[in-house]
């Protein structure tokens, strides 16, 4: 059996029924763009561990088809995970004698400190937002709740309980190719089970949301000037314009989420609570991502105590 034949069968019959549509689309693109060109015509049973290792090494060196640079360690690990699952299924079904990925180790991923806005930059962002609440309310929502961009754009007024002061995160916006190969906007379940969560609304945000709702004719909390839904790219472009207006250095939209988490740690919020607010799988993930902020906060506390002694 050829590699390509088993790959198509595995993805369609074994994998697709148990994964979300947008995950299936991502997997399909990873195979088409990276994996299949390398293994396409190879016999499934002839592929050895060395072949897989050479493939992963190549991707680390120049796997980016756009600029011929190396893929990130996380992407290479995802490619390895896909191959491992596919080969393991082939092994379990008797198509190969052993899984060539079994003993191949993951690439080490360095957790880089998350970029955040300084307090001065945050103040400038807030000042610009206050000049046009209907346009910039989403920026303030992320800054004060830490929700992801896809979760923000999926919010409807049914998810916002202003009486009890809570926001329910139960869906997300994502883009995937349709049957004609064109990218379409979809609303689906969140990233993971832990991503479904209830977030309290701060008093200042609650007041702004009440005012914002008065001008809303659409059911979506975030809408364009003509009350239609916003695209991810459109909202990112809007945020780039906002930063230019605030005269601060450009950072991506996700920096708002990192800023929320960092401010929470600075205020003494414990890791478990922050993990639940962020919708992380567990507190370890939160600690790995924002541990540097936690250490800096502890250092300031120790220095403050030392001055009092």
165 and 294 share one domain: yes
The predicted-structure confidence for 138-161, as pLDDT tens digits, reads as follows 999 999 999 999 999 999 999 999
Identify the weakest region by mean pLDDT among 105-109, 112-116, 242-246: 112-116
**SS3 state of residue 238:** helix
Q: Is 20 part of a structural domain of the chain?
A: yes
pLDDT confidence bin for 308, thresholds 50/70/90: low
Q: Is residue 101 part of a domain?
A: no
In a domain, 105, yes or no: no
Res. 309 pLDDT band, cuts 50 70 90: low
- pTM for this predicted structure: 0.81
Number of independent structural domains in the chain = 2
Q: Is residue 111 in a domain?
A: no
Exposure of 282 in the CB half-sphere (CA atoms within 13 A): 2
189 shares its domain with 128 = yes
Q: Is the pLDDT of residue 15 over 90?
A: yes
Do 251 and 118 form a contact (C-beta atoms < 8 A)? no
Among the candidates 76, 92, 108, a domain finishes at: 92
- For 18-40, the pLDDT digits (tens) are 988 888 888 999 999 999 999 98
Same domain, 188 and 83: no
Domain span holding position 85: 3-92
- Do residue 191 and residue 279 come from a single domain? yes
| Pair (70, 148) in one structural domain | no
Q: Is residue 113 part of a domain?
A: no
| In a shared domain, residues 42 and 165 | no
CA 179 to chain CA centroid, Å, is 25
Of 251, 35, 269, the residue nearest 125 (C-alpha): 251
The CATH number given to whatever domain includes residue 10 is 1.10.150
**Predicted pLDDT of residue 145:** 96
pLDDT digits (tens, 9 = 90+) for 186-231: 888 887 888 999 999 999 999 999 999 988 887 889 887 777 888 9
CATH of the domain at 127: 1.10.443.10
pLDDT-based confidence at 291, cuts 50/70/90? confident
């Amino acid at each position: 059996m050829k590699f390509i034949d088993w790959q198509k069968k595995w993805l369609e019959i074994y994998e697709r029924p148990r994964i979300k549509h947008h995950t299936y689309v991502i997997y399909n693109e990873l195979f088409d763009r990276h994996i299949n060109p390398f293994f396409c015509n190879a016999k499934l049973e002839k592929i050895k561990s060395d072949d897989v290792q050479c493939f992963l090494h190549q991707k680390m060196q120049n796997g980016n088809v756009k600029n011929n640079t190396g893929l990130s360690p996380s992407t290479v690990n995802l490619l390895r995970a896909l191959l491992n699952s596919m080969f393991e299924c082939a092994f379990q079904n008797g198509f190969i004698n052993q899984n060539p990925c079994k003993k191949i180790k993951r690439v080490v991923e360095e957790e880089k400190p998350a970029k955040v806005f300084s307090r001065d930059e945050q103040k400038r962002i807030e000042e610009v937002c206050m000049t046009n609440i209907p346009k910039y309310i989403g920026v303030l929502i992320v800054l004060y709740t830490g929700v992801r961009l896809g979760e923000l754009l999926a919010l409807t007024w049914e998810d916002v309980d202003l009486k009890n002061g809570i926001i329910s995160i139960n869906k997300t916006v994502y883009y995937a190719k349709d049957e004609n190969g064109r990218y379409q906007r979809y609303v689906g379940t969140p990233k993971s089970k832990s991503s479904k969560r209830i977030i309290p609304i701060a008093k200042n945000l609650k007041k702004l949301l009440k005012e914002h709702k008065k001008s809303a004719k659409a059911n979506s909390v975030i809408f364009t000037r003509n009350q239609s839904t916003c695209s991810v790219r459109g909202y990112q472009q809007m945020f780039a314009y906002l930063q230019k207006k605030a005269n601060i250095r450009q950072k991506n939209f996700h920096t708002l989420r990192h800023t929320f988490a960092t401010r929470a740690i600075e205020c003494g919020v414990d890791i478990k609570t922050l993990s639940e607010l962020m919708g992380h799988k567990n507190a370890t993930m939160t600690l790995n991502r924002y541990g540097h902020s936690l250490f800096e906060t502890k250092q300031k506390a120790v220095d403050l105590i030392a001055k009092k002694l």
